[in-house]
Amino acid sequence: MSKKKKPAFEDDLLWAYYHTTKKTIKEYIRELDRYNAFRSLAPRFRQEACVDDRGRLIDLYDACYDQDAHLMSTMETLYSKILGKRYALGTFDEKGKFHKDIAETKKIRGTVFVDLIKEIVKAKAYGYTAIEMLPDIDPTTGKLAHIKSIERRNVLAGQRRIVQRQGEYHPGWNFDDLSMKPYYFLIEDRTHPLGFYSATTPIILAKKFTHANHVGFSHTYGQPVIHGKCASDGVGDRNRLANEIASAATNKVIVTGMDDEIDVKNFASTNSEKIFTSIVDRADTDVSNLILGSESMAGEAQSYVGAATADENILRDRVSVYREFIENVWNEEVIPRLENFGYIKKGLVFQYQGHIDMSAKDMIKLMEVLSSKFKMDPEVVEDILGIPVGEQLESVVGVGVSVPDGGDGDGTRRMSDEEYYRRYGHYRTEANFLKGKK
């Protein structure tokens, strides 16, 4: 293991400012104008100044993520499709077949590597992620102890620089410096520099405004009005009846005079509240479609089975794009640094395994088809279904051998007497159940 070590950027070294409350669309538009100014100036800008400071834009992104349950659940669904025992380290043979290295793969399992994969995905959400990776080894787990994301507010992605204080160019460090490269690297989504949160942010801000209006509408028109008609013209009698009506919700009893009248005024249904709910539903649909490719994959029910199947295919294709992005980052940025640390051996490749995501019901059906056509390795069955099985009956000597007639004549194999006995506990007989013979 290399003894060289780069000091980490601790919290007391990097200064950032967080403003994630009371966000409006006007602030979002202003930050887009700032970014447009950076893109206009960047090709001919020579002064040392923070022209690509996206700190306020990150505030908007974090505010929407932390305060919108649908966006948070959608991202958790995406993580569930990407994480897990789906990836491995290994090598390719001459035929292009991937061979998993179990010992080396175990080294990249653990909390820090799960966080690393999440941060790589967040590079597509935020537009960039800066990673700090040091060769420290956790004495308890024996794995790397220090892989973390650098605060985005202190990163000038377009200028490839880390600044100590948000908004100030000096002091700072460049990613391209030779002393920085072994331990720090920047992940960018060059297709969408601002990340897909730039598309979800205005939708969620509008959704929050709609929620507030809906609450006000419900308080005003959501409850019926109790109308009381007092027979007396006295102010005291009217106040008494009004107090009785006001306390009726708690006491469940209204005491009136003989000639007093009480009735409930319900507003005519105009479906006005659907204006708000439809906007909220549309916002949730757009967020789901953007990140997962389908609203049903984020929990929305479909009207028919064919639509759900199509959405599953869209999600599978979308997840494969995320996985390819993760593989590229690992093989181009992470693997070379792990090799330099001496943490893994050289020549390995990070690869997602070619498992098809399907339900347990579909997996059982597939196993039934495969087991009827091919001899299955018991370890494969146990690895996929978690059910320990023994040797297949067809491979046991004396069991599953075809009868002398060679089968039923239609390409199928007739069960042998020995296999019949092992399966049912008695030998095959020429039983005639209509006559009661056994």
For residue range 171-205, list pLDDT tens digits in order.
999 999 999 999 999 999 988 999 999 999 999 99
Residues 123 and 252 in one domain: no
Say how many domains are in the chain: 3
Would residue 282 count as lying in a domain? yes
Last residue of a domain, one of 357, 382, 407: 357
- C-alpha 332 chain-centroid distance: 24
Residues 123 and 191 in one domain: yes
Strand order in the sheet with 161-163: 155-156, 161-163, 172-174
Residues 291 and 335 in one domain: yes
| 283: three-class secondary structure by DSSP | helix
At position 186, the amino acid (one-letter code) is L
Strands 128-133 and 184-188: antiparallel
Would residue 323 count as lying in a domain? yes
Residues 95 and 79 in one domain: yes
Residue 406 pLDDT greater than 50, yes or no? no
For residue range 93-148, list pLDDT tens digits in order.
988 889 999 999 999 999 999 999 999 999 999 999 999 999 999 999 999 999 99
- C-alpha 63 chain-centroid distance: 18
Residues 154 and 242 in one domain: no
More reliable by pLDDT, 315 or 68: 68
The whole-model pTM stands at: 0.76
Name the region of 174 (left: φ>0; alpha: ψ -120 to 50; beta: rest). beta
Choose the weakest-confidence range: 197-206, 259-268, 305-314: 305-314
Last residue of a domain, one of 333, 357, 381: 357
- Alpha carbons 406 and 394: distance in angstroms, whole number: 15
- C-alpha 121 chain-centroid distance: 9
Residues 112 and 246 in one domain: no
Strand order in the sheet with 349-352: 98-100, 87-92, 349-352
Residues 312 and 279 in one domain: yes
More reliable by pLDDT, 429 or 404: 429
Q: Which three-class secondary structure string do you get for 198-225? A: HHHHHHHHHHHHHHHHHHHHHHHHCCCE
pLDDT of residue 9: 63
> Could you tell me the residue range of the domain that residue 134 belongs to?
1-222+273-357
- Alpha carbons 294 and 311: distance in angstroms, whole number: 6
Residues 177 and 252 in one domain: no
Per-residue confidence band for 287, with pLDDT thresholds at 50, 70 and 90: very high
Other beta carbons less than 10 A from residue 197's beta carbon: 25
